[in-house]
A = this chain, B = another copy of it.
Amino acid sequence: MKKLGKQTIKFDNPPTVLEAATIVGPKEAEGPLAQYFDKCLEDEFWGEKTWEKAESKIIKETVNTVVSKSGIPSGSIDYCFAGDLLNQCISSSFGLRELNIPFLGIFGACSTFVEGMSLAAIFADSGISNILCAASSHFCSAEKQFRFPLELGNQRPPSAQWTVTGAGATIICNSGNGPYITHVTTGKIVDMGIKDANNMGAAMAPAALSTLLAHFQDTGRSPNYYDVILTGDLGYIGKEILTELAMDKGYNIKNNYNDCGVLIFDKNSQDTHSGGSGCGCCASVFSGYLMHELRNKKLSRLLLIATGALMNSTSSQQGESIPGIAHAISIEL
């Protein structure tokens, strides 16, 4: 591998995304991408007593599904990178405690899925054979933890996003026939002073811009190199902000840019306001829809930029702003 500029790695022998799987909740099953998910749940509990246990089950079964689909014996998987939004990442650690694979916990809020794919790609380039990546989120556990108990029935402002209930998992290999991870651009923390925890898109858009610019500058590519540039979960508001910010910097992304949070729900019929969010948003849209499009050659050059808001409820109560981060990977056939 070779370092390009300050933030990007280019792989001489690009790792392959061998397999992907995703399980989502009932609301995601009513959205426009339903046909691409491996499994859609009928309710938010999936037979468990709590939302946290349900989220753990979702990531566990998603990982079991991707391992099973890949045909690789789990004993031949060298490492697992995983993370989620729950305090101390308990969805991953409880869900994957029986996995019996060397485990590296990661936290990048909603950027976690691409952070895992980035680390996995670097591991693969270093000669490691098979690396598992997973991330999850759950609407109910996230609302309870970050905002208000659902039982209160609080109103949600129009800038709010809807945390995706779901998990995505992939297996990255150091050999294979693609889709290939050709570049990794790792983000810096960016804090522009946004304090509204109901407007995550605005808080994360500057971080997405920073990583987007770094990627273009480091690689010498321009927006039209890609069939699609997709952010993780900026939602409608963040998408509009990023489009404008990029234009101000001389990059026109209007024609080929979209956001996973915009794609996963139908805004008009699903009452999801500014769109989907959560680690599971980018994870399920990539592992379901995007992998399908790559395999069917409807996409051949994808820039995936997952964004994360690095706050908790205590930091907001203490008057802090919301730092953002964004990690990008190029996936090409």
- Residues of chain A at the chain B interface (Cβ within 8 Å): 1-3, 6-7, 49-50, 52-53, 75, 78-79, 83, 85-90, 93-94, 96-97, 99-109, 115, 118-119, 122-123, 125-128, 186-191, 310-315, 318, 320, 323, 325
Q: How far is the CA of A52 from the CA of B312 in the complex (A)?
A: 11
Tell me whether A3 and B100 are in contact (CB under 8 A): no
Query: Oligomeric state, in number of copies?
Result: 2
Supposing A122-B123, A189-B96, A318-B52 touch, asked if A107 and B109 sit within 8 A by C-beta, the answer is no
Nearest to A78 among chain B residues (CB) is B3
Tell me whether A93 and B189 are in contact (CB under 8 A): yes
Min CB gap A238→B, angstroms? 19
Tell me whether B53 and A318 are in contact (CB under 8 A): yes
**What are 7 inter-chain pairs, A to B, with CB distance below 8 A?**
A6-B75, A86-B314, A87-B314, A94-B323, A103-B189, A105-B310, A119-B119
Contacts of A79 in B (CB 8 A): 186
Tell me whether B314 and A102 are in contact (CB under 8 A): no
Min CB gap A15→B, angstroms? 12
What 5 A-B pairs have minimum CB-CB distances, sorted nearest first?
Answer: A93-B310, A102-B186, A88-B312, A105-B107, A87-B87
Contacts of A127 in B (CB 8 A): 1-3
Supposing A1-B126, A312-B87 touch, asked if A320 and B94 sit within 8 A by C-beta, the answer is yes
Tell me whether A311 and B103 are in contact (CB under 8 A): no
Contacts of A118 in B (CB 8 A): 104
Supposing A115-B105, A123-B122, A127-B3 touch, asked if A311 and B90 sit within 8 A by C-beta, the answer is yes
Tell me whether B125 and A126 are in contact (CB under 8 A): yes
Contacts of A97 in B (CB 8 A): 189-191, 310, 323
Tell me whether A104 and B108 are in contact (CB under 8 A): yes
Tell me whether B106 and A104 are in contact (CB under 8 A): yes
Tell me whether A119 and B104 are in contact (CB under 8 A): yes
Q: How far is the CA of A80 from the CA of B49 in the complex (A)?
A: 39
Contacts of A7 in B (CB 8 A): 102
Q: How far is the CA of A190 from the CA of B96 in the complex (A)?
A: 10
Q: How far is the CA of A72 from the CA of B318 in the complex (A)?
A: 34
Min CB gap A237→B, angstroms? 22
Min CB gap A278→B, angstroms? 13
Contacts of A49 in B (CB 8 A): 318
Contacts of A126 in B (CB 8 A): 1, 122, 125-126
Supposing A104-B108, A105-B107, A115-B104 touch, asked if A314 and B189 sit within 8 A by C-beta, the answer is no
Q: How far is the CA of A103 from the CA of B112 in the complex (A)?
A: 12
> Which of B50, B87, B187 is close to A88, meaning CB atoms less than 8 Å apart?
B87
Contacts of A101 in B (CB 8 A): 188
